[in-house]
Amino acid sequence: MSNPAAGGSDPSAASLPIGGITSFSTVDWPGRLVAVCFLAGCPWRCRYCQNSMLWDVSSATSTYQDLLDLMETRRGLLDGIVFSGGEPLAQRGLASAMRDMRDMGFEVGLHTGGALPDRLRDVLPLVSWVGYDVKAPWDAYPRITGVDGSGDRAREGLEAVLASGVDMEARTTWHPDLLSPDDLVSIARTLARMGVRSWAVQAFREQGTDGSLPPARVYPGDVPAEARDAMAHYEFR
Ligand code: SF4
């Protein structure tokens, strides 16, 4: 079903490590009814990660055929599919799967943190929407991901998304031990300067994390007005 990838090999989707499939979602791609395919494997170790059970590819529980079978029954019922994770771009078969989904008539969305900007650039022509995690001011990324240089890669990936013109939303997960209110202002101003128009602050939730962060509550009013007002479309969730 897949075509050769532009400019190189096109690894098969057949061996994708699928850690879970949600058959119906109204929240994973704003304005679209979608399925969500969670790919196992991520090179980062964000302390607030709600899918820490998917960090290792060995956590895969479903096959690609399971996904194809589900999507076959969803033709005409869903607008599209979102590939999430884990970090979906860590899997070389992702582009092939995206092509298959498009061939079946589905729009393709992507959740990513930008750990692999070259692969992101390669799949952007296949993608109609990106939910892009912006975890911190670029130089503070290792505080969250545990990986040196991760902020540079995330900035490069975001620049690629913006240059492509693909519709996107930036989102920042907020735990007060990891980001200060001033950090949020810095993030919002940086994003606005780069041309991001839509930004969501997501309150930390303990469910699914590895338990390394203490419980914490943040509220909409805790986000400084300078951060909220920097963006054309802002949301707290
Ligand atoms: S990049 Fe995403 S999937 Fe990977 S550890 Fe961070 S939050 Fe979790």
Residues 149-187 pLDDT 10s: 999 999 999 999 999 999 999 999 999 999 999 999 999
Name the DSSP class of 160.
H
- Centre of ligand 1 to C-alpha 26, Å, is 21
Q: Say how far apart CA 153 and CA 115 lie, in whole Å.
A: 6
Q: For ligand 1, is residue 88 a contact (CB within 6 Å)?
A: no
In a domain, 11, yes or no: no
In the chain, the number of structural domains is 1
Match 């993030």 to its residue by tokens. Answer: 187
In a domain, 10, yes or no: no
pLDDT on residue 8: 40
- Per the structure, the complete domain to which residue 134 belongs is given by 18-236
Q: For ligand 1, is residue 51 a contact (CB within 6 Å)?
A: yes
Q: Is the pLDDT of residue 9 over 90?
A: no
Contacts of 124 (CB under 8 A, 6+ apart): 130, 160, 161, 164, 166
Q: For ligand 1, is residue 45 a contact (CB within 6 Å)?
A: yes
In a domain, 224, yes or no: yes
Residue 6 binned pLDDT confidence (cut-offs 50, 70, 90): very low
For the full predicted model, state whether its pTM sits above 0.85: yes
- What residue owns the CA closest to ligand 1's atom 8? 49
User: What CATH number is attached to the domain comprising 75?
Assistant: 3.20.20.70
Q: For ligand 1, is residue 113 a contact (CB within 6 Å)?
A: yes
In a domain, 3, yes or no: no
Residue 37 binned pLDDT confidence (cut-offs 50, 70, 90): very high
Ligand 1 atom closest to Cα of residue 145: 6
Crossing angle of the two packed helices 94-103 and 64-73, in degrees rounded to 10: 20
